[in-house]
Amino acid sequence: AQERYASIRDLPAEAKCGTHVGLHMNAGLMADLPSLPTSGAEGVGLFRTELQFLIRNQMPRRAELSALYARVMDAAKGRRVAFRTLDIGSDKVLPYMKPNDEPNPALGWRAIRVGLDKPGVLRMQLQALIRAANGRPLTVMFPFIAQLSEFRDARAELDKALERERILGRPLPETVEVGAMLETPSLGFSPDVLYEEVDFLSVGGNDLKQFFFAADRENERVRRRYDTLNVSFLRFLQQVIDRCNAYGTPLSFCGEDAGRPVEALCLAAIGFRTLSMRPASIGPVKHLLRRCHLGEVRAVIEEAAARGDQSVRPAVTELLAREGW
């Protein structure tokens, strides 16, 4: 399949109307790095750092992590890599950490909650990232931020780590970009100041959808019950997009849905300008995107919503068939 899309690999990710949609890849393992040049990805929109922790049987050391992150940045050759700090808990349990028995792990002590309550590992990781950057630009994003104070506290940890490195006389990153993942509806409805304070927001659609519909992403019985193209979900995303646009906050979408062509097209049509997906999805998404006029897709989405359709999928599918896209 990858070969099928090779012919468009170096063509711009532009819709027929000329709108550019940045297509980035999700990664986490060293084995993902060769995909960076071959997929046509503009950068790494989500680097899941916990994968490196999950494949080991003991906690990695700072120097080891730092060398690893440096290799990722080397492979990216100046392209942006958004390093997401450790996202553990819920479905991701480290074999060498005391498991905690929680009635609802997805709603429990996970991701940034662990990072802020027991900051040792987060601090080590931030230091490793700063050292890996070694004077290059650094992008960090914090997972599962549910309210503004969590972002502020996490950012304060990063600022402290930068200050420590400065005192030690080590090189600081050329630039530091700090973002939050929007994975709970609460963050979308947070005060405007959040949108001003973050350097960027990235929608973690897998978790966001799970919490929006109260449907466990791990539960086969319910995980496909609600359509991502449900008008309520799109309306929520639309207000996030509108507020990001009002404040000039860069926004991306990095859940699995970004890699499904029809979903990606609709996300672009409602205003997402950056999508991050598994590398193999970039070709199919770009292929569809290049054939479509986003304005026409958007009009069909708005009509479907106004008509009271539950999902815009039938209307969009019909448009694609009618136009031969």
Residue whose CB is less far from ligand PEP, 69 or 253: 253
Is 204 an interacting residue with respect to Mg ion (CB under 5 A)?
Answer: yes
Q: From ligand PEP, Mg ion, none, which one binds at residue 255 (CB under 5 to 8 Å depending on kind)?
A: ligand PEP
Residue whose CB is less far from Mg ion, 130 or 198: 198
Q: From Mg ion, ligand PEP, none, which one binds at residue 254 (CB under 5 to 8 Å depending on kind)?
A: ligand PEP
Residue whose CB is less far from ligand PEP, 40 or 204: 204
- Distance, in Å, from the CA atom of 163 to the CA atom of 152, rounded to the nearest integer, reads 16
No. of helices (H) and no. of strands (E), the chain:
14, 8
Name the region of 324 (left: φ>0; alpha: ψ -120 to 50; beta: rest): left
Which one-letter amino acid corresponds to residue 116? L
Q: From ligand PEP, Mg ion, none, which one binds at residue 157 (CB under 5 to 8 Å depending on kind)?
A: none
Per-residue b/e over 252-277, b at no fewer than 16 CB within 10 Å? bbbbbbbbbbbbbbbbbbbbbbbbbb
Q: How far is CA 220 from the centre of its chain?
A: 23
Token pair recorded at residue 157: 């940890």
Tell me, by CB under 5 A, how many residues bind Mg ion: 3
Residue whose CB is less far from ligand PEP, 276 or 319: 276
Which residues are paired to 180 by β-bridges? 142, 201
Is residue 85 within 8 A of residue 78, CB to CB? The reply is no
Minimum gap (Å) between residue 290 Cβ and Mg ion: 29
Q: Residue numbers of the site for ligand PEP (CB under 6 A)?
A: 46, 48, 87, 183, 204-207, 254-255
Nearest in space to 292 (alpha carbons), one of 21, 10, 110, 22: 21
Minimum gap (Å) between residue 19 Cβ and ligand PEP: 24
Residue whose CB is less far from ligand PEP, 15 or 44: 44
Q: One symbol per residue from 156 to 195: x for binding Mg ion (CB under 5 A), - otherwise; what is it?
A: ---------------------------x------------
